[in-house]
Amino acid sequence: MTAKNNAGWLKVVGLGPGGDALITPEVSAALSEATDVVGYVPYVERVAPRPGLVRHGSDNREEIRRAEQALRLAAEGRRVVVVSSGDPGVFAMAAALFEALEAGEPEWRDLDIQVLPGISAMLAASARLGAPLGHDFCCINLSDNLKPWALIERRLRLAAEADFAMAFYNPRSRARPEGFVRTLEVLRETCGAQRPIMFARAVSTPEERLTVTTLGEATAEMADMRTLVMVGSSQTRLIRREGVPWVYTPRSVLESVSGACSGTDAGAEP
């Protein structure tokens, strides 16, 4: 059977940040029709076992082999769901799938492949805290497993100069304890000590923990691999209330302010 006329398909889906109420109906339908679920062990375990469903869990950093396995299964006529946390297109399995597709068997290109979006950690964390990404922003993976550290630092400096709000994935792991220390140093230097920084850990799960502080007060230990970190632009504001304050970045930038975007914090007092 060739790929073209088989009944197999492959969907790369986002399970959202953790809570079931954040999984889209489109993704739930794909999971209910699947014969195989493929992914990193903790994400595969989020899919309940049922008769007729084979769950293939694999280790972290196995992304390309996992993608090849999924493509092979779909080519054999299976209905395969590759699961990511959050959204599959943001530092997750969709890019790995297309890397494997481009390098792999020519007939894989005829497979029925879809990517189904999910609520990313970034959007979930932003919602919980208010609207810190309410104006122009950037999103950077702080892991230097797959890119040189110099590129990360270069992007941090240019993002500060552009006065973007920033969202950071994979800030810190046991294998890379120093990178986030250096990130905080670069951000303090470029954005100033008063700039708001937010730590959103495991949003929508029982382990959720939110911290809002300033770059001057922040320490590397406030983040781990389950933490999404955000830094405000010079315009980002705090609204005090009981508990964690609201954080938002206004939609407007005044003519007079925009000329002062030097990358150092000349903006609103948080």
24 binds a second copy (CB under 8 A): yes
Sign of the torsion angle spanned by Cα atoms 209, 212, 217, 223: positive
- Cβ atoms of residues 125 and 198 within 8 Å: yes
- Cβ atoms of residues 94 and 24 within 8 Å: no
Q: What is the x/- site pattern for a second copy, positions 3-22, by CB under 8 A?
A: -------------x--xxxx
Distance CA 231, CA 140 (A): 11
**Which residue number, 83 or 119, has a Cβ lying nearer to a second copy?**
119
Q: What is the x/- site pattern for a second copy, positions 94-113, by CB under 8 A?
A: xxxxxx-xx------xx--x
- Kindly state the smallest distance separating residue 52's Cβ from a second copy, in Å: 23
Q: What residues numbered 142-161 form the site for a second copy, per CB under 8 A?
A: 146-148, 150-151, 154-155, 158-159, 161
Retrieve residue 172's tokens. Answer: 């810190």
Stretch of 23-31, 75-83, 185-193, 218-226 lying at the interface with a second copy (CB under 8 A): 23-31
Q: Which of 127, 210, 220, 225 binds a second copy (CB under 8 A)?
A: 127
91 binds a second copy (CB under 8 A): yes
Q: What residues numbered 56-75 form the site for a second copy, per CB under 8 A?
A: 63
- Kindly state the smallest distance separating residue 147's Cβ from a second copy, in Å: 4
* Order of strands across the sheet that contains 54-58: 54-58, 36-40, 79-84, 9-14, 112-116
133 binds a second copy (CB under 8 A): yes
138 binds a second copy (CB under 8 A): yes
Retrieve residue 58's tokens. Answer: 């694999």
251 binds a second copy (CB under 8 A): yes
- Kindly state the smallest distance separating residue 27's Cβ from a second copy, in Å: 9
116 binds a second copy (CB under 8 A): yes
- Kindly state the smallest distance separating residue 121's Cβ from a second copy, in Å: 10
**Which residue number, 170 or 214, has a Cβ lying nearer to a second copy?**
170
